[in-house]
Structure 1
Amino acid sequence: MVETVGAQVIPIDGKTLKGSYNREQGRSAIHLVSAWASEHRLVLGQVKVSEKSNEITAIPALLELLNLAGCIITIDAMGTQPAIATQIYNAKANYVLALKANHPTLYGQVKTWFEQAQAQGFEGITVSYDERVEKGHHRTEKRLVWSVSISQLPTLDQQGDWVGLQSVVMVVRVRHLWNKTTREVQFYLTSLESDACKLGQAIRLHWSIENGLHWTLDVTFAEDDCRVRTGHAI
């Protein structure tokens, strides 16, 4: 899938080591932010989040460690910040950033625009569309992706702060389980051109960090159960 996208997709995401807390010393559990090479299935770097901070400060420090040129960086909503987008773009890479309610005005604008455009069948709008269906683990998932050039939308809230912004994306995921059907709608900001197929695959690859790294650490290596908290094991 990476070859189809045409670039190395690097998901960045955080994970809490649940067993690393130290009640006697008043230390909370360690939270690490990792960069994951989806093509080679390797951790490229990790940064520990300060106890009095969050991923917003750890992600820029992690990005500084990496040669990002030519890559696509995917980050969940916590890292959807203008400064992080600028850092990625200035490193000659592209970003795909999840847009959620932590940016209420911008999120509301994009959500409302897509709802209205979809209700009108995207009449008069140049839109890219892609649809994929996957089956496995006793479920069927259908992913519908719409991407639109930023020039098709009215000026967004603080749009100029998002350096390199070219497109906005809406992804609808419909999952059919044996006992229920769920529907999830997600929006994204990206410095890539409007190409629903390419963007949908990059967004899909973001979850490889959950399946390939976080799940493996928890299930195979029992990381969350580890209570070693001294020396290099901290």
Structure 2
Amino acid sequence: MPALPSSLISSVSCAPALTVAETAGGLLEALAGVPDPRARRGVRHRLAVVVTAAVCAVVAGYRSYAAIGEWVADVPATTALALGMTPERRPSEAMIRRLLQAMDPQLLTGAIGVWLAGRATATTSTSGRVIAVDGNALHGSRTTDTAARHVMTACDHATGVVLASIDVDGKTNEITRFAPLLDQISDLRDTVITPDALHCQRQHVTYLAQHGAHWILTVKGHQPSLHSQLAGLPRQAVPDATRNRNRDRGHGRREIRSLKILTISTGIDVPHAAQAIQTRRRRHRLEQPKRFTTETVHTITDLRVHQAKPAQLADWIRGHWSIKNKVHWGRDITYDEDRSQIRTGTGPEVMAALRNAAIGALRLTGVTNITATNRHHARDSTRPLALPGIT
């Protein structure tokens, strides 16, 4: 029976906020401030060293504790030394497993997010940044007695970097975890937040206004009164000059998207609402050009006309799905997270954070095919070292 992390002390629930300047040296430096859940006595390998080695293994495509332990055991002595390990006394699979099962995943994700932001381009600066907020179930963590763990993440639109994450346990829900999630991001001023439709809540609008952030909220049937108000607006009077049209082809279909935007001052029961947006998506299969399906989606935002052009609003509304395409898809499919057998302690959330780190670091290098890049890094143990800044 695997050893349980009962001998490890619980993680410290808070730590000093890290800045990009403090983590510019690489992942090892970024992880230096993450609390170690182990008792000091008997610790041979620093937390930063073990986690960095685990991220390198995940970059090479390794998915489990056993696989990460094998990667650490098999790398040449020069690679072990570069990581900060003594080649003759490397971390064992059991030690790696116990540590990862006891770490605080929120603090780990925060440190990794700051490190990745430091490596990113100017698109990740706090000014003009757009962040998607969405939840995802870790299906592999389900057991016969317990439901699957649920994690909510905040992801940068432009880069796909996960900036913060928080668990959503059975005693709460995503709505109550919205503010604690965004509290992990040091500065939200001038940031545009695009949550999914569940978070179209007045208390969320108030929270974002207090932090100087902007928002774009999707309104669906769970807000029937507000949805009716938006559907009843006189959009027929909107001139063609304020209509934005886009055409895309992909996945065997063609899509035409059009936006109608109305400035609103009264009549909408949402604080600070400035514009109402109607997006119409008309799709057809390429082999059936005359059979269309039409979907109408209503959104509202506090952004005024001079703050965002129609084309920007269209990009941000559609870009919200980047968190699913850039992050969730990579974890669920490429890393086969839905069939992971990791279930003990905080292991599922910590492994999700390590996968987010690997995906984010690869995305920042311009990688689009994560699977092929995993194979590339697996062929040479020195290749993953460049991503965490080890030379």
Give TM-score scaled by structure 1 length.
0.86
The runs of 5 or more residues in structure 1 that have no matched partner are none
Mapped to 2, the partners of 1:117 and 1:211 lie a distance apart of 32
Percent identity of the aligned residues?
30
User: Are residue 223 (structure 1) and residue 337 (structure 2) matched?
Assistant: yes
Give the one of 311, 315, 320 matched to 1:201: 315
SS at match of 2:128: coil
Mapped to 2, the partners of 1:182 and 1:54 lie a distance apart of 33
User: Are residue 13 (structure 1) and residue 124 (structure 2) matched?
Assistant: no
Amino acid at match of 1:18: H
Give the one of 32, 43, 51 matched to 2:162: 43
Mapped to 2, the partners of 1:61 and 1:232 lie a distance apart of 18
Mapped to 2, the partners of 1:172 and 1:46 lie a distance apart of 32
Amino acid at match of 1:190: T
Q: Is the 8 A contact 2:238 2:262 kept in 1?
A: no
Q: Is the 8 A contact 1:16 1:29 kept in 2?
A: yes
* Deviation at residue 101 of structure 1 after TM alignment: 1.1
Give the one of 199, 204, 228 matched to 1:108: 228
Give the one of 157, 177, 185 matched to 1:58: 177
Give the one of 204, 207, 212 matched to 1:92: 212
Q: Is the 8 A contact 2:189 2:212 kept in 1?
A: yes
Query: Corresponding residue for 1:171?
Result: 279
Mapped to 2, the partners of 1:127 and 1:148 lie a distance apart of 12
Q: Is the 8 A contact 1:127 1:147 kept in 2?
A: no
Query: Corresponding residue for 2:238?
Result: 122
RMSD over aligned Cα, in angstroms?
A: 2.1
Amino acid at match of 1:12: V
Mapped to 2, the partners of 1:32 and 1:232 lie a distance apart of 11
Cα distance change of structure 1 residues 186 and 52 upon mapping to structure 2, 3 Å threshold: same
Cα distance change of structure 1 residues 53 and 231 upon mapping to structure 2, 3 Å threshold: closer
The runs of 5 or more residues in structure 2 that have no matched partner are 1-121, 349-391
SS at match of 1:231: coil
Mapped to 2, the partners of 1:57 and 1:216 lie a distance apart of 27
Give the one of 239, 246, 267 matched to 1:155: 267
Aligned residues: 217
Mapped to 1, the partners of 2:219 and 2:162 lie a distance apart of 25
* Deviation at residue 127 of structure 1 after TM alignment: 7.7
Query: Corresponding residue for 2:101?
Result: none
For residues 71-90 of structure 1, the aligned pairs below 5 Å read 71-90=191-210
Query: Corresponding residue for 1:32?
Result: 151
SS at match of 1:192: coil
Give TM-score scaled by structure 2 length.
0.52
SS at match of 2:232: helix
Mapped to 2, the partners of 1:43 and 1:89 lie a distance apart of 22
Query: Corresponding residue for 1:22?
Result: 143
Runs (4+) of structure 1 exceeding 6 A deviation are none
User: Are residue 185 (structure 1) and residue 303 (structure 2) matched?
Assistant: no
- Post-superposition Cα deviations, 1:13-43, rounded to whole Å, max 9, x if no partner, equal 11111121122xx321111111001122200
Give the one of 136, 153, 156 matched to 2:250: 136
Amino acid at match of 1:89: A
Mapped to 1, the partners of 2:194 and 2:256 lie a distance apart of 21
Mapped to 2, the partners of 1:79 and 1:222 lie a distance apart of 28
- Post-superposition Cα deviations, 1:124-183, rounded to whole Å, max 9, x if no partner, equal xx98321111112221111101111113xx513xx2xx3321111110111121345321
* Deviation at residue 100 of structure 1 after TM alignment: 0.8
